[in-house]
Amino acid sequence: MRVPWGETRLVQGNEAIALGALASGVNFFAGYPITPSTEVAEMLARSLPQGDGAFIQMEDEIASVSAVMGASLAGARAMTATSGPGFSLMQEGIGFGCMAEIPFVLVDVMRAGPSTGLPTQVAQGDVMQARWGTHGDHPAIVLCPASVRECFDLTVRAFNLSETFRTPVILLSDEVVGHMRERVTFPKCEEVAVIERPVPETPTEWYEHYHPTPSNVSPMATYGSGYRFHVTGLTHDRQGFPTRRRDEVDEKLARLKAKITRRLDELVEIRTHDVEKSSVVIFAYGSVYRSALAAQVQLAKKNKRVGVFRPVTLWPFPDMETKELLDDKDVVIVPELNQGQLIHEIERLTSDSVRVIPVQRVDGYELTPEEIVSAAMEVM
């Protein structure tokens, strides 16, 4: 299987994630089967060995995320893919990756929970878990595709961000986007930018695995490169050795935060449709965004104008953009496939004068455009 550069094909969302990974130069995948993410593993099991990449099915999801981090430290461009229950098992690993600053991509194709839930129907229940699921405190990077082509593009972007920011990046898809098939025109090879991991040029004896830099991300040596370094989940100093010195602890944790929060312009991505001209806006992401766009068209036919605001990057949340674009609205409708997760961010960022209206569904079925239309009609 090769990336169909420049061609038009009928492709499934999960398949597009595998193709996006291949386009990014993925050469390591470790995972454990779980619907609705398994197609990613199946496709990479077939294609990675053809290019001398490694594919391994591990004994569970904890082992999968661990193997991915081991591989990344040994220089691989590494990823895993899972869904709800597996995502829960991987949380400790995500925290380790953030703390030890190990780049990798984790795909979570959301299905309805809690627990085993509805295997395997759609939900958006992992939005807060993707942000806050690990113990301790650290920022997260989470991207959310809404179409098959975006599954490809955002996988490429996830790899680039993980290597640039030296941190795990979560691609938060959902069952509808993952299993949907769409006609996709793939970009030409030269149109896809692949960012490689910055490697150190310092002499080995001066190397610090966590050297502070203006970007707050230091070039990363790999095992076997001649730079011998220590990696630990214990809070560590610039060389990676455990420390309890307050100045070193503060420096480390402040840098972990700053490397994300000081570069929001590179991370935050939103899409807006008619937001500025409308007093009623639908805020939607993932597969629900598609229903929101359809609802916008249906409402236009009834001479009702609504805008659509969509975060492509869920975390860090587009705080500034939300305040700037939504704070003067009369109504923001927030359809979500959960009992209310990102709606709280909208409530946090808008004044009391903005009515924030939930449209929620947790029965495993897609929110239809009609449900969003009827919510809009009630307030218009």
Partner 1 sequence: MPAQLPYEYKYLRAKKKFPHVWCPGCGIGIVMGSIIRAVDALGWNKNDIVLVSGIGCTSRMPVYFDFNTLHTMHGRALAFATGVKLANPGLKVIAVMGDGDALAIGGNHIIHSARRNIEITSIIVNNYNYGMTGGQHSPTTPIDMITATSPYGMIEPGFDTCRLLDAAGAVFVARGTVYHVIELDGLIRQAMEKKGLSVVEVMSPCPTNYGRANRLGGAVEMMKGLRDGSVNAAQAAKLSPEELKGRIVRGVLADREAPEYTELYADLCRRAREKASEVDE
Footprint on this chain of partner 1 (rule: CB under 8 A): 27-28, 30, 46, 49-50, 52, 54, 56, 58-60, 62-64, 66-76, 78, 92-93, 96, 223-226, 228-234, 239, 241-242
CA 252, chain centre distance (Å): 24
Pairing state between β 118-122 and 104-112:
antiparallel
Is residue 380 within 8 A of residue 304, CB to CB? The reply is yes
CB of residue 140 vs partner 1: minimum separation in angstroms?
A: 18
Cis peptide, bond prior to residue 114, ω within 30 of zero = yes
- Chain centroid to CA 186: how far? 21
**Distance (Å, rounded) from C-alpha 51 to C-alpha 35?**
26
**In the complex, minimum distance from the CB of residue 240 to partner 1, in angstroms, rounded to a whole number:** 9
Task: Kindly report the length of the chain.
Answer: 380
Nearer to partner 1 by Cβ, of 64 and 313: the residue is 64
Please give the backbone phi and psi of residue 149, each rounded to the nearest 5 degrees, phi first: -60, -40
Nearer to partner 1, 35 or 225 (CB): 225
Question: Smallest distance, Å, CB 220 to partner 1?
Answer: 13
What token pair was written down for 196? 């490689």
User: Residue 191 is which amino acid?
Assistant: E
Of 57 and 261, nearer to partner 1 (C-beta) is 57
Radius of gyration for the chain, computed over Cα atoms and rounded to the nearest angstrom: 21
CA 270/CA 231 separation, integer angstroms? 35
Q: How many CB atoms lie within 10 A of CB 284?
A: 28
> C-beta of 279: minimal distance to partner 1 in Å?
50
Q: Based on CB atoms, which residue is closest to partner 1, 6 or 224? A: 224
Question: What is the rounded CA–CA span in Å between residue 217 and residue 180?
Answer: 37
Least Å distance between CB 132 and partner 1?
Answer: 19
- Helix 61-73, helix 91-100: angle, nearest 10: 20
Closest approach, Cβ 187 to partner 1, in A, equals 22
| Shortest spacing between CB 306 and partner 1, in angstroms | 47
Nearer to partner 1, 6 or 242 (CB): 242
φ/ψ of 322, rounded to 5, equals -65, -50
In the complex with partner 1, the residue whose CB is nearer, 221 or 281, is 221
Q: Which is nearer to partner 1, 30 or 151 (CB)?
A: 30
